[in-house]
């Protein structure tokens, strides 16, 4: 019996010593009009950069407004077409999140975003909001009915969509799926500021992510707060950088209210959302910016296991922070 136990112990030790040591691999580069940084723990020599690049290229070919022959560009030009799996899924998920946010998140506001001079649109001296509103509203898309993926789909006449407020979060989740299928259980994925983390980093600690201070100029290493994430995602939306000023000096921000058709006027400077997946976090961060601080906190009560961190400007030029009750579980400082 003792001999058997000794042999068993030796076998266990041999199996442990044969496990390859994990090193932290990092892939970085441009992506989706921004940048990406992906770190993951794998045996030395393993690199998923080629597979990641393939995903990023595929997403651009499906959902980028900057690619002339992308699926979204063709849809917005009035084409009827078979949708790729990811793009079809993003539209369906967007319509669901529109319903859950009372329309605060709405991908059909593309005509308004363009008219107000964002997402490649040119600023206009006068904007006929009432006319454009005839072609805005997710319920019009629902009524038009998005069919099965293997059926041709076209937008309702006059409609155009913009999925920028959800596509980066969705791409983060797709990359996470790739890594997990390869057996990677420790990773940090960041695309355009949307983040998903699991496990630990090379130092054996949970991944720490900083939320930037709401300043017009980005200052490296200067954070409003830091959180630790494991099997969770983080997305932030803000109005303190994407804006232009009209002739009166009034800031015109990129957050367009689907209900009024006009840029939001609010003291909410940024909204950060922690959720189990980056797709949800990305969309809810945008919806919170539309809702304003009071509406955002009420809305998040409907979403279990979702937390929010809001930076609010005061009339004295200072900032205040509002957190949902569970945010402190993730906060480092």
What is the C-alpha to C-alpha distance for residues 158 and 140, in angstroms, rounded to an integer?
Answer: 11
- pLDDT at position 67 is 94
Q: What are the φ/ψ torsions at residue 295 (nearest 5 degrees)?
A: -65, -35
Domain ranges of the chain: 22-329
Q: Mind listing the pLDDT tens digit for each residue in 59-103? A: 999 999 999 999 999 999 999 999 999 999 999 999 999 999 999
Cβ contacts of 321 within 8 Å, gap of 6 or more: 224, 225, 309, 310, 311, 312
Look-up of token digits 């494991």: 230
- pLDDT at position 120 is 55
DSSP states along 237-255: EESSSSEEE-TTS-EEES-
Q: What's the pTM?
A: 0.89
What is the C-alpha to C-alpha distance for residues 192 and 162, in angstroms, rounded to an integer?
Answer: 16
DSSP code at position 206:
B
- Helix and strand numbers, DSSP H then E, in the chain: 9, 12
Report the CATH number of the 22-329 domain: 3.10.520.10
What stretches in the chain show pLDDT beneath 50?
A: 1-17, 242-252
Q: Which of 41, 23, 38 is nearest to 186 (CA)?
A: 41
Helix (H, G, I), strand (E, B) or coil at 27: strand
Q: Mind listing the pLDDT tens digit for each residue in 1-22? A: 444 434 333 333 344 445 679 9
DSSP states along 43-86: ETT---HHHHHHHHHHHHHHH-TTSTTSHHHHHHTT--BPPPHH
């Amino acid at each position: 019996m003792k001999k058997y136990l000794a042999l068993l112990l030796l076998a266990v030790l041999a199996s442990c010593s044969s496990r390859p040591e994990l090193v932290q691999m990092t892939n970085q580069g441009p992506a989706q009009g921004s940048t990406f940084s992906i770190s993951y723990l794998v045996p030395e020599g393993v690199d998923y950069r080629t597979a990641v690049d393939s995903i990023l290229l595929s997403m651009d070919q499906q959902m980028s407004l900057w690619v002339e022959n992308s699926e979204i560009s063709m849809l917005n030009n009035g084409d009827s077409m078979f949708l790729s799996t990811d793009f079809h899924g993003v539209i369906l998920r967007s319509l669901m999140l529109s319903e859950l946010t009372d329309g605060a998140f709405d991908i059909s506001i593309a005509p308004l975003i363009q008219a107000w001079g964002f997402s490649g649109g040119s600023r206009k001296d006068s904007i006929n909001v009432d006319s454009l509103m005839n072609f805005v509203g997710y319920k019009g898309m629902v009524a038009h009915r998005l069919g099965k993926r293997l059926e041709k789909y076209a937008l309702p006449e006059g409609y155009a969509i913009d999925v920028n407020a959800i596509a980066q979060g969705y791409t983060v989740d797709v990359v996470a799926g790739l890594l997990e299928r390869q057996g990677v259980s420790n990773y940090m994925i960041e695309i355009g500021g949307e983040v998903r983390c699991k496990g630990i980093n090379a130092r054996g600690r949970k991944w720490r992510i900083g939320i930037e201070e709401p300043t017009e100029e980005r200052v490296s290493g200067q954070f409003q707060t830091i959180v630790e994430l494991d099997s969770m995602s983080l997305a932030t939306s803000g109005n303190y950088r994407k804006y232009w000023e009209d002739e009166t000096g009034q800031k015109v921000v990129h957050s367009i209210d689907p209900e009024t058709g006009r840029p939001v006027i609010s003291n909410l400077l940024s909204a950060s959302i922690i959720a189990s997946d980056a797709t949800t976090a990305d969309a809810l961060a945008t919806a919170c910016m539309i809702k304003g601080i009071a509406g955002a906190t009420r809305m998040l009560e409907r979403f279990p296991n979702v937390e929010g961190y809001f930076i609010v400007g005061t009339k004295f030029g200072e900032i205040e922070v509002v957190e949902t009750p569970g945010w402190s579980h993730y906060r480092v400082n």
